[in-house]
Structure 1
Amino acid sequence: MAEDNYKKQTSLRGGTTRQSASLEHTKDRLPHSVRNDEHKTSLRGGTTKQSAQSKTRPLLPKLRFKEFDGEWKKGSLKKIAYTNPKTKELPDKFIYIDLESVTNGILVKEEVISIEEAPSRAQRVLEKNDILYQTVRPYQKNNLYFDKNGDYVASTGYAQIKAKEDSKYLFQFLHTTNFVNIVNRWSTGTSYPAISPSELIKISISYPTLPEQQKIASFLSAVDEKIQQLAQKKSLLEQYKKGVMQQLFSGELRFKDENGEDFPDWEEKRLGEVCLKIQDGNYGASYPKSEEFVEMGIPFLTSKALGEGGSIIAHKIDYISIEKHSELKKAHLALNDILFTNRGANVGAIGYVDSKISNGNIGPQLTLLRVKKQIESRFLFFAMSSYSMRKQIGSQDSGSAMNFFGIGATSKFRLKIPCIKEQQKIANYLSAIDTKIETLNQQIEKTQSFKKGLLQQMFV
């Protein structure tokens, strides 16, 4: 099976010891004070209480590898690194890194261009171990530790930083909450806030001895590697699911029944033929006013709550009172309903109604689809995001903000329907892939949270 491609052994490296890639094994290598009782956070050289009482608080991290002691030093970025060195002559051809090329510390786009077609912002000629710090919209934290060979040139939308000591340590420090907060405060502009290089180099950096810098950098780089491995697994699974869906809904790939026989041919039907109810949400005078939304109550979903891959974005769900819900009778949700975005920039986006929102209500940007008994709701959920359905939506979407798929237009969408048993097999198979993707999502979030805690405690 194709899923076997995702079972490769992963590992983390820190110092000279090879470790398992599991988060639990990563924690086994934590600095000294983490392995102690959670309540014992004092450090050698004075307890937290003593430090608080000192007139000058010593530069000591909360978490530290046991082989190191002594205070850290502090200096401006200008003191410990070279920033935006004098521009070298551009090579005839090179890979250009603009502000869209880096996402979450990963170089996601590599496009070779010639010097003749290079934009005027292509000025940062890169060398191995350089750091690219995003100075435009720095809150995005799309920074890059450059460790590649070859000719690369970056946009002046980045600051090019060359550390005088350990560049990986400095790269990690630039992502600490304190540093990022200072950068954001010092940035100017509204739509595209930016910090000037002359201001960036004034920000203070705290640092220990070089061996401790290297130890910290090695450990945190291992955590970064783990996050990247999980993200790559997720991406591969998403690509695999996309390919399988294309084959399933085009009929290239078919399941067999329990006797190994072919299922009956699929039948083409209109969406209105397979749904008990197709209903858009509430609008007009009864639509909740801003003061009618509450902190806790009945879930009220609009198109903003529908994310990628059919997900529901929990923190983008609004809430209304029971009384308001009773007033808005038009589109009460039920378990296993399917939500379809009928207008706007994300027209066609879908969501599945689980127990968390099954007592909810929806706004006019959404349409609920409630299936008949002979239809597996999860099958229709996946069918609504198939290539065939997206093609139908795209052919009728004018791109205008006012474009709208009403109940009549929605009910006319055509799709091919297999028998209920084959529907269930398809739904179960694709749901299993979704479960694996969600598990990876949770692992990524857990590891990112773990690293965030480390950044807060391993640096001063």
Structure 2
Amino acid sequence: MKIENEFIKLGEVAKFFKGKGLPKSELVENAKSPCIHYGELFTKYGQRITEIKSFTNLSGNLVYSKSNDVLMPTSDVTPNGLATASAIYEEGVILGGDILITRIPSDVVNGVYLAYFIKYSKSEVLRLVTGSTVYHIYGKDLAKFKLFCPPIFEQKKIAEILSTIDEKIEAIDQRIAETQELKKGLIQQLLTKGIGHTKFKDSPLGEIPESWEVFNVEDVFDFVATKSLSRAQLSYELGTVYYVHYGDIHSTFKYPLVDLNDTELPRILPEIEMSGNIQYLINGDLILADASEDLEGVGICIEIHNISNRKVIGGLHTIVLRDKIGRTANGFRTYLLSSPLTLPFIKRIATGASVLGVSKGNLKNIEVVLPPIPEQQKIAEILSSVDQKLQIQQDKKAEYQELKKGLMQQLLTGKIRVKVNPN
């Protein structure tokens, strides 16, 4: 098939099918037939399907993949999830219900190229989505989707370039997962058994090293006043008082030890009145986000350092804890509340329906376990080094993601053409 125009409607070159059957209950380990459940397109596959993750013993009147097929979920409770696509080159894979299959001649459109183009053109895809409580995308609507369609050899090269970057990202993801698992194991060991102990004792929180002590939070920390302001009252350009917003603890700060020399905080707009009991933060203050949309985010906190001469206050939905008499070491505080001996109790006191919250009144009675200061310092040094490694990996991933974003913008629009010898 010869394409006369580089911009085409997908329906001009593709046929559309729908998968069939395959409930989750039919996904079986060690089964004989490879298969893809539509839900896996959200969670297990990117733009390229290189390895089939699931198997089934189903047989009979089913729908099977062809090489170069592009798969999309046809329904979701939010529209955004429908703007995703995965190209498959393995033939004979069972494709479950609620999978929209775009079948295209491989000499006209490269499947991986199309999958990347759909991801890049998310806003255009979403215009084709229908529904209210449950959203759908159908073949008859996707047929109207406009595709930049350079010569097939150029498509393949673009797909190869983007796939190479994705392979880099996937490799980094694997290393991040390994580092996170290492940190999880170290937290379990160091914050319950410590370093080199042979003698242990019973405590209200379970068995702990003999030299460790148990305190209530209020015995160790003072509660520092905070000020509730909305994002609209903050700026990154104006103002002289810096502000720690709970949302930044959840999403912006990637490292539990926050160094203000390397971190940009929003500032309170000059016209906002700063009356009442204003308490500025000092180095080593522990800041807990007291609200979370899910249980996983309950108890997340940061320890702040290198404030210098900055004026900084704790903000909306934060609880600021300040060491009373030097029972905790710098760098250790941020890990204290994440101890397996303490965190479950913090999660237990979280209350709420759509948003879970922790109150000062409940937090003050939570028990924490403190090793001697020298051991705290060693524990903090070990966990901090793992967090630094994790940060380097996450930064490297972000670099590749930005590179991929820029290349998609240039290559998938024809702004930059890839020179390829078709022979």
8 Å CA contact retained: 2:283, 2:305: yes
1:204 aligns with 2:150: no
Residue from 212, 231, 237 that aligns with 1:266: 212
CA 1:267 to 1:238, structure 2 compared with 1: closer, same or farther past 3 Å? same
Counterparts of 1:405 and 1:90 in 2: how far apart (Å)?
42
Choose 409-418 or 445-454, whichever is displaced more: 409-418
Counterparts of 2:94 and 2:188 in 1: how far apart (Å)?
37
Match of 2:303 in 1: 352
Structure 1 segment 106-121 matched on structure 2, within 5 A? 106=46
8 Å CA contact retained: 2:9, 2:146: yes
Could you give the per-residue CA deviations for residues 229-261 of structure 1, whole angstroms, max 9, x where no partner exists? 11111111111111111111120x5158xxxxx
Residue from 94, 102, 118 that aligns with 2:42: 102
8 Å CA contact retained: 1:270, 1:415: yes
Count how many residue pairs are aligned between Structure 1 and Structure 2.
370
Counterparts of 2:41 and 2:224 in 1: how far apart (Å)?
42
How far apart are 1:356 and its partner, in Å? 7.2
Match of 1:9 in 2: none
1:406 aligns with 2:339: no
Residue from 133, 157, 167 that aligns with 1:215: 157
Match of 2:71 in 1: 132
How far apart are 1:436 and its partner, in Å? 1.1
How far apart are 1:307 and its partner, in Å? 1.8
Residue from 420, 423, 430 that aligns with 2:383: 430
8 Å CA contact retained: 2:235, 2:268: yes
Q: Unaligned stretches of 5+ in structure 2?
A: 28-34, 198-208, 415-423
Counterparts of 1:103 and 1:200 in 2: how far apart (Å)?
22
Match of 2:400 in 1: 447
8 Å CA contact retained: 1:93, 1:151: no
1:278 aligns with 2:226: no
Partner letter of residue 104 of structure 2? Answer: A
1:365 aligns with 2:309: no
How far apart are 1:391 and its partner, in Å? 1.1
SS in 2 for 1:421: helix
Larger fraction in helix = 1
1:79 aligns with 2:22: no
SS in 1 for 2:103: strand
8 Å CA contact retained: 2:70, 2:87: yes
8 Å CA contact retained: 1:341, 1:349: yes
How far apart are 1:373 and its partner, in Å? 2.7
Residue from 162, 174, 179 that aligns with 2:118: 174
TM-score (norm: length of structure 1): 0.68
8 Å CA contact retained: 1:104, 1:142: no
Structure 1 segment 37-52 matched on structure 2, within 5 A? none
Counterparts of 1:149 and 1:336 in 2: how far apart (Å)?
58
Counterparts of 2:124 and 2:401 in 1: how far apart (Å)?
21
Report the aligned-residue RMSD.
4.0
CA 1:206 to 1:254, structure 2 compared with 1: closer, same or farther past 3 Å? same
1:340 aligns with 2:288: yes
Choose 296-305 or 398-407, whichever is displaced more: 398-407
Counterparts of 2:183 and 2:230 in 1: how far apart (Å)?
40
How far apart are 1:338 and its partner, in Å? 1.3
CA 1:82 to 1:99, structure 2 compared with 1: closer, same or farther past 3 Å? same
8 Å CA contact retained: 2:299, 2:343: yes
Structure 1 segment 8-47 matched on structure 2, within 5 A? none
Match of 1:20 in 2: none
Structure 1 segment 294-333 matched on structure 2, within 5 A? 294=235, 296-297=238-239, 298-307=241-250, 311=254, 319-321=267-269, 324=272, 326-333=274-281
Structure 1 segment 158-197 matched on structure 2, within 5 A? 158-165=99-106, 166-176=110-120, 179-188=121-130, 194-197=136-139
Match of 1:224 in 2: 166
How far apart are 1:200 and its partner, in Å? 1.4
Counterparts of 1:104 and 1:341 in 2: how far apart (Å)?
31
Counterparts of 2:116 and 2:356 in 1: how far apart (Å)?
46
8 Å CA contact retained: 2:64, 2:92: no
How far apart are 1:133 and its partner, in Å? 2.5
How far apart are 1:434 and its partner, in Å? 0.9
Partner letter of residue 273 of structure 1? Answer: D
SS in 2 for 1:373: coil
Q: Unaligned stretches of 5+ in structure 1?
A: 1-69, 117-122, 257-262
8 Å CA contact retained: 1:337, 1:352: yes
8 Å CA contact retained: 1:131, 1:171: yes
SS in 2 for 1:336: coil
Could you give the per-residue CA deviations for residues 64-108 of structure 1, whole angstroms, max 9, x where no partner exists? xxxxxx9973322122333225x5676994455244653484489
8 Å CA contact retained: 2:65, 2:91: no
How far apart are 1:440 and its partner, in Å? 1.1
Counterparts of 2:304 and 2:20 in 1: how far apart (Å)?
57
TM-score (norm: length of structure 2): 0.73
Residue from 340, 350, 353 that aligns with 1:397: 350
Choose 300-309 or 422-431, whichever is displaced more: 300-309
8 Å CA contact retained: 1:81, 1:164: yes
Counterparts of 1:347 and 1:103 in 2: how far apart (Å)?
24
SS in 1 for 2:332: helix
How far apart are 1:398 and its partner, in Å? 4.3
8 Å CA contact retained: 1:281, 1:366: yes
Partner letter of residue 118 of structure 2? Answer: L
Counterparts of 1:96 and 1:377 in 2: how far apart (Å)?
50
